[in-house]
Amino acid sequence: MEDEDEASAPSREGRRDTEEPLQRGPYITEFPISTAGQPVRNPNSSTTGQQYETYLHQLDDGSTNLWAPFTSRLDYEVARWAKLRGLGSTAFSDLLKIEGICDHLGLSYRSTPELNKIIDTKLPSQRPRFHRQEIVIAGDIREAYDVFFRDVLECVKALFSDPDFAKYLVFVPERHYSDPDKTKRLYHDLHTGKWWWNTQKSLEERAPGATIIPVLLSSDKTQVTMFRNKSAYPIYMTIGNIPKEIRRKPSRRAQVLLGYLPTTKLDHISNLAARRRTLANLFHACMREILHPLKDAGSHGVNMTSGGGVVHRGHPLVACYIGDYPEQILISGAKTGECPGCDIPRGSLGSPDEPCTFRHLKNILDALALVDEDPLQFTKACATAGVKPLFHPFWEDLPYCNIYRALTPDVLHQLYQGLVKHLIAWIKSAYSTAEIDARCKRLPPNHNIRLFMKGISGLSRVSGTEHDQICRFLLGMVVDMRLPGGVSPARLIRAVRGLLDFLYLAQYPCLSEETLELIDDALTRFHNNKAIFVDLGIRSSFELPKLHSLHHYVYMVRRFGTTDNYTTAYTERLHIDLTKDAYRATNHKDEYFQMTVWLERKEKMLYHNNYIIWRQNRNHTVPVRAPPNMSYLREFKIAKHPSVGTVPLRTIEDTYGATFFRAALARFVIQNTQPQLRGRQFDEAIHNVIIPFRTLAVFHKIRFNGVDSLGRRDESITVDAIHAQPQRKDRQGRVVPGRFDTALVNLGEGGETGVEGYRVGQVRVIFAIPPTARNLMFGATEVPLHLAYVEWFSPFPASPERNHGMYKISRSMVDNGRLASIVPVSNIRRSIHLIPKFGAIAPRDWTSSNVLERCSTFYVNCFSDRHAYSTIF
C-alpha cells in the first residue's frame, strides 16, 4: 500500500530555513594554535611581484626591454600567438617563409625551430622539466615501461610560489559558521573541512609551526585519437591552499600535469587475472616513484616561498585522490563491484539501512606487509583484509594519508554518468519512448534548457553535459504520464524528485548542516520509493556501487568541503588542454617526448605573458576575495542600441502580440503619476492619457550577469537571458518562429529567495519610451528607461503540488483576453521555464514554438538551472 501522504519534496518553510543561513556570515573561528601556518621568514617588503622581480633579473636585458627576450611588442605578440593560439609548427614556418614577412614585421626568428630555441634558452623555467624513467615490473617476465613525470615536490613549490596566487593562498584551517553564536557550520573551500583542522592539530603536536599543503591528485585515461584507439594516461595535481574559485578555472593554471603513465594493455599476458594484477602493480609502481618525494617532505616539512616572498615550512600531504569508479578500484585495491572506500558487503550496496564503515587501513597495511612472505599466506591475508594482493601500493607510506578516506565523491561519473543514466533508462522502460520523445519536442525554449528536437530515446554515447541538460526537464516530463496497468505513478515521481534533489543540493558551492540534512532526506526519499522500478519489472535489485557511494557525500563534505573542490569535471577539461592538444602537436612518433616539450614551452609562454602584464600594471589593485556564501543577485543588461529603432504601435500590438499595449501603457502612466487614485477615478484618468508617439525603440533580449556578494558583476558570462522577438526569416530565407519567453517578475515585495511577492509573466515586448515623450507623459516622476509588456499567469498557489513539488499555474484571463501589464525591466528577476501540463498524451498539434499559446496550464520548472533550484521554492 502506497503512502499517499508522503511528501515528494521538502516544505517551503524547510527550504527557506535551509537556504537563509547560506546568505549569512561567515563567522570564523581560527585555528587555536598560534604557530600553525606561521612564516619561517618574512621578506623586507612582501609584494605579489617579488617572484616576478626574480624572473626579471633572470632575463637577458630584462631591466631595459619590456619584451625581452623578444625585440619588440610585435615580435612577442606573434610568438605568443604561434605558441598559444597559432597553427602547427610546420604551417607557422611556412608562413614565415613568405618573402619579406619577417623583415616587414621585424621578427627575431624566421622559423619555428628558431622561435623554439629562444623559448628554450632565454625564457627561465618556472615549473619543473619532465624526465623519462623506466619502471620495471617483476613477474614471470621482467618488463620495463617508460613513464614521463615531473618532480612532484617542485610542482608543489611552483604552485605555492606563483605570484598570481599570492594574495589568495590559505595557510591555516578555519571553521566557518552562519550564526554569531557559531553553532551552525558552513562548508565550502577545503580549509573549512574537518580533514585540514584535524591534520593540523596532529601535526602541531609533533612539529609546531607547520603549514599544511594539501595535495589533490587526479588521474584518468583518455582517448587522444578518433581512430586507432590511441590513449594517454595523464595524472594531474593541484594544492588546496589555492581557493577552489581559482582551481576550477583552467585559464588560471592552478592545475599541473604531473606526468603520463604507461597505457599498455599487457595483451601478451594470456591469463586474465595475472594481467589485471600486473596492470595494478604497474600503476602503483609508477605512482610510488612519482610521489616518493612527498614522504619525507610531508613528515618533516620543507621550506617553501610564496609568491609574496614569505617563507613557510610546508608539509605537502596527499589529501584527496579524484577519479572515477574504475580508477578508485585500481587505487584502493578493492574488487570490481564493491565500494572502494568502505567494507559494506556487495549484496547490501542498495540498502539504505546497512551500516558501513570505512576500510580499516592498519589491517590492510599489515596484510600488504606480508608481500615478501609465502605467496599463499600473502594472498590469504589480503583476502581476509578485503583487498587485492598489491605489491607495495603507492599510498602505504604516505604520511597522514588514509587512502580509503581520500577517495572523494565524483558528481560527473557517480551521478550524471551513473545514477542519472540509470534513472533515464528506467523511465524509458516504464513509459512509452514515443511519448517521452513527443514531450521533449514540445517543451518551450529557455536560455538554460537544451531542446532535444529528436527526443532522447535514440541518443547514444550521452555525455555528462547532456545528462545534465536532460535532468533539467526530466521530472516535468513524467508528472502526468500514466504507467501501464493503471499503477499509480506517485512513487516513481517521488523517486525522481528525490534523486534530482540530491543531485542539485550536492552541487551547492556552500553547504550548511541544515543543507546536509536535506541531502540525506533526498536520498532517503529515493530509497523509500525506488521499489516502484522492481514492481514494474524494470529492476530486480539495486546493488549498484554508484548508488551506495551517495551515502558518503555528507561525510566527505564535512571532511573536505563542497563537491566542487574535487570533481572529475575539471580533469575532463584538462584532458583537452594538456593531453589531446599536446598529442595533436606531435608527429605521432615518440609522442610523449614531444608532448612534454610542447607543454613546457607553452607553460613558459603563459608565465611570461603574466610577467608582461605585471610589468605593465605594477600598481594595479588585486581584487578582494568574495565571502564564501551563495550569492543569488543578478543584474540585467540590455544592448546599448535597440534591436529595431522604430516599431509602429500597430506592429507592437499585432506582430509582437501585445494586444492591449496602449491600455496597459496608460494604466502604467497613472500608476506612476497619480498612485493615490482608485476605482472609477483611476479608470477615468486612464482614458485621459495621451500617448504622444507612434513608434517605439524595441529590444529583443534581456541578458543577466551574476553578481557576487561584493557587488561585482561578471560580464563575461551570460547566466540567463529573456527573448521577445516575433517571427522572422534567417539569412537562408527560412522562417524562424517567434519567441516570447516567460519570466519571474517582482511585484514589489519579492525577496532573494522564495516565490512570495513574485508572479510569472510572458514578456511580449521590451521597449524604451523616447525622452521627449517620457517628459510629457510622466513629468517630474522618474521612470525606468527600459520597460516590458508582460502577459500574466495566475499567482503562485499557497503550496506546490504534493507528489512532485512543482507549482501549477495557468493563464490569467479577463473578459476580453489575457491579463497584461507594463513593468520596469528592473523588476524582472530571471527567466522562468514552464513545463506544459500535457495530460496522458501530448497533443500532437503542439510544438515547441506554439505550446505557450496553446497550452493553458503549466508547471513551474525549478530544475532549469541551479539558480532556479536554490531560489524558487
Question: 67-83 pLDDT, tens per residue?
Answer: 999 999 999 999 999 99
Is residue 619 scored above 80 in pLDDT? Answer: no
C-beta separation of 147 from 133 below 8 A = yes
Helix (H, G, I), strand (E, B), or coil: what is residue 625? coil
Q: Is the per-residue pLDDT at 3 higher than 60? A: no
C-beta separation of 798 from 471 below 8 A: no
Question: Residue 8: pLDDT above 80?
Answer: no
Give the C-alpha separation, 821 to 815, whole Å. 15
Contact 50, 309 (CB under 8 A): yes
Q: How many CA atoms does the CB half-sphere of 386 hold within 13 Å? A: 20
3-state helix, strand, coil in the chain (%, to 5): 40, 20, 40
Would you tell me how many other CB atoms lie within 10 Å of the CB of residue 856? 12
> Which grid cell sits at 103?
623583415
Rounded to an integer, the average pLDDT of 302-314 is 93
pLDDT at 4 over 60: no
CB 55 within 8 A of CB 127: no
Can you tell me the mean pLDDT for 528-552? 95
Q: Which three cell numbers stand for residue 807?
A: 507549482
Average pLDDT over residues 739-745: 98
CA angle (504 as vertex; 420, 192 as ends), nearest 5: 125
Task: Please state which of the ranges 214-218, 686-690, 830-834 shows the lowest mean pLDDT.
Answer: 686-690
- The secondary structure of 457-488 as a DSSP string is TT--S--HHHHHHHHTTHHHHHTTPPPGGG--
pLDDT at 872: 94
819-850 burial, b if ≥16 CB within 10 A, otherwise e? bbbbbbbebbbbbbbbbbbbeeebeeebebbe
Instruction: Give residue 44's pLDDT band: very low, low, confident or very high (50, 70, 90).
Output: low
Q: What angle do CA 257, 259, 261 make, to 5 degrees?
A: 135
Which residue, 401, 394, 402, is CA-closest to 135?
A: 394
Cα separation, 760 vs 806, whole angstroms: 14
pLDDT, tens only, 27-40: 999 999 999 999 98
Domain map (residue ranges) of the chain: 12-26+411-431+481-560, 33-42+126-333+400-408+566-581, 60-122, 336-389, 634-871
- Reply yes or no on whether the pLDDT at 62 is more than 50: yes
Q: Pseudo-torsion of CA 579, 585, 588, 589, nearest 10°?
A: -110
Cell of 672: 506612476
For residues 870 and 518, give the distance between their C-alpha atoms in angstroms, rounded to a whole number: 13
Distance between CA atoms of residues 66 and 618, nearest Å: 13
pTM: 0.94
Contact 565, 189 (CB under 8 A): yes
Contact 186, 178 (CB under 8 A): yes
**CA–CA distance, 750 with 755 (Å, rounded to integer):** 7
Q: Which residues have CB under 8 Å from 391's CB, separation 6+?
A: 138, 281, 284, 285, 371
497 compared with 717, residue with greater pLDDT: 497
**pLDDT at position 812 over 80:** yes
Cβ-contact 456, 470 below 8 angstroms? yes
Provide the pLDDT for residue 22.
84
pLDDT-derived band at 1 (thresholds 50, 70, 90) equals very low
Number of neighbouring beta carbons within 10 Å of residue 736: 12
φ/ψ of residue 758, rounded to 5? -125, 160
What's the pLDDT at 573? 85
* C-alpha–C-alpha distance, residues 199 and 327, integer Å: 25
CB neighbourhood size of 119 (10 A): 18
Residue 688 has pLDDT above 60, yes or no: yes
CB count within 10 Å of CB 15 equals 22
pLDDT at residue 723 is higher than 70: yes
Are 806 and 861 in contact by the 8 Å Cβ rule? The answer is: yes
**Number of neighbouring beta carbons within 10 Å of residue 496:** 26
Give the model confidence (pLDDT) of 215-256 as tens digits: 999 999 999 987 778 999 999 999 999 999 999 988 899 999
| pLDDT score of 555 more than 80 | yes
Q: How far apart, in whole angstroms, are the C-alpha atoms of residue 811 and residue 852?
A: 10
Residue 817 φ/ψ region, left for φ over 0, alpha for ψ in the -120 to 50 degree band, beta for the rest: left
**24 or 460, greater pLDDT:** 460
**Quick one: average pLDDT of 680-700?**
93
Helix 679-687 with 661-673: angle, nearest 10 deg = 120
Label each residue of 253-322 as H, E or C. CCCEEEEECCCCCCCCCCCHHHHHHHHHHHHHHHHHHHHCHHHHHHHHCEEEECCCCCEEEEEEEEEEEE
Given a cut of 50, is residue 383 above it in pLDDT? Answer: yes
528 pLDDT band, cuts 50/70/90, is very high
Residue 483 CA to residue 489 CA, distance in Å, equals 6
810: left (phi over 0), alpha (psi -120 to 50) or beta: beta
Q: Looking at residues 253-268, what average pLDDT do you find?
A: 93
Mean pLDDT over 552-557 rounds to: 97
- Does 798 have pLDDT greater than 50? yes
CB contact burial 857-867 (16+ within 10 A = b; e otherwise): ebbbbbbbbbb
502: number of CA atoms within 13 Å, CB side?
A: 27
For residues 506 and 456, the answer to whether their CB atoms sit within 8 Å is: no
783, 787, 776: which is closest to 691 by C-alpha? 776
Residue of 782, 750, 862, 865 lying closest to 15 (CA atoms): 862
- Extract the C-alpha cell encoding 730: 534567417
Mean pLDDT of the chain: 92
Task: Report the candidate in 765, 737, 745 with the shortest Cα–Cα distance to residue 659.
Answer: 765
The pLDDT assigned to 78 comes to: 95
pLDDT score for 267:
85
What lies within 8 Å, CB to CB, of 332 at 6+ separation is: 340, 341, 359, 387, 403, 404, 407
Among residues 27, 165, 11, the alpha carbon closest in space to that of 525 is found at 11
Cis peptide before 26 (omega within 30 of 0): yes
